[in-house]
Amino acid sequence: MDHHLSEKSIIALGPWLESAAGAYVLAWEQRCLDTLTADIFGFNALQIGMPQINALEANRMPNKWLADTHVDPASGIRPAVAIAHDLAELPFASQSLDLVVLPHVLEFSREPHQVLREVERVLRPEGQLIICGFNSASLWGARQMAGRLNGSAFLPRDGEFISMPRLKDWLELLNMEVGHGHFGCYAPPCRSEKWLERFSFVEKFGQRWWPYLGAVYVVHAIKRVKGMRLIGPVWRRPAARSARTVPATNKAHNQSDHGKS
């Protein structure tokens, strides 16, 4: 299957991020990502795509990479770049990463399900995933839909907004436990910095009165693997006839086993 269309779609978001609206989104997402990743510990962290934001800047893991389809020498100091010819085939071993961040990759990917499956593969059990996306249930989502009809899309036309409920369903199918979602950027879809600043007062009202209608969201999930929390040997339940002669030192184990049955 040809994946070049997917790569071009992701790259097409770059020029938009240089606009006033793009800077507005990047600023909010950087603050949110800094807060979420600062206290996630481990050894290996990966950001996939969108080098315009340093999603791992606040994280303190010793090994941090950026998986992208090309290298931009002018991007400044970044995590080590891992070239991926296809973002759905990552150059990392299975269960080798503690944290993966996907900033606006799924909505500009031709195979978002495969990207998620690949992320699930490289995440270790209890590894964490953070996804940034544009919210379809927002003024920006309505503006994008109207723009596709009249030929003046607010965002690159190849992007497809993925609602948070839909994304949660995808993640749950991969045994990813989804936590609380974060929403931001409540200003209308304005193209000029002047008008975005005029609507800055909307931020606090949006967070209080219509929190799920922000233009962008950040979802935090954890990879759960059944049975990974069991530590030590599995104790068998004693026969009924010997229940009264169980040593006191083993009583706690047997009580625990009864609770599991």
Domains of the chain listed by start with CATH number: 4-223 (3.40.50.150)
Is pLDDT above 90 for 203? no
Quote the pTM value. 0.80
Instruction: Say which DSSP state 169 is in.
Output: H
When comparing pLDDT for 237 and 55, which is higher? 55
Predicted confidence at residue 157, as pLDDT, reads 77
| Separation in Å, CA 159 to CA 7, 21, 229, 255 | 12, 16, 39, 55
Distance CA 69, CA 194 (A): 34
Predicted confidence at residue 145, as pLDDT, reads 85
pLDDT tens sequence across 207-226? 788 889 999 999 999 999 87
Instruction: Say which DSSP state 240 is in.
Output: G
Predicted confidence at residue 122, as pLDDT, reads 96
Q: List Cβ neighbours of 28 (8 Å cut-off, separation of 6 or more).
A: 184, 185, 216
pLDDT tens sequence across 123-167? 999 999 999 999 999 998 888 888 777 777 788 877 788 999 999
* Average model confidence (pLDDT) across the chain: 81
The predicted model gives 183-199 an average pLDDT of 87
pLDDT tens sequence across 10-38? 556 888 999 999 999 999 999 999 999 99
Distance CA 24, CA 18 (A): 10
Is pLDDT above 70 for 249? no
When comparing pLDDT for 158 and 1, which is higher? 158
When comparing pLDDT for 82 and 248, which is higher? 82
Which is nearest to 133 in space by CA: 221, 5, 234?
221
The predicted model gives 244-255 an average pLDDT of 39
Query: SS3 for 255?
Result: helix
Q: What are the CB-based long-range contacts (under 8 Å, 24+) for 188-195?
A: 188/139, 189/21, 189/139, 189/140, 189/143, 189/144, 189/154, 189/215, 190/20, 190/21, 191/19, 191/20, 191/21, 191/154, 192/20, 193/20, 193/23
Query: Side chain identity at 52, as an amino acid letter?
Result: Q
Distance CA 162, CA 107 (A): 6
Is pLDDT above 70 for 253? no
pLDDT tens sequence across 93-127? 999 999 999 999 999 888 999 999 999 999 999 99
Task: Determine what percent of the chain is predicted with pLDDT higher than 90.
Answer: 48
Q: List Cβ neighbours of 49 (8 Å cut-off, separation of 6 or more).
A: 10, 67, 68, 69, 87, 102, 103, 104, 105
Is pLDDT above 50 for 259? no
User: Which of 3-12, 71-80, 150-159 comes out lowest in average pLDDT?
Assistant: 3-12
Diameter of the chain by CA atoms? Answer: 82
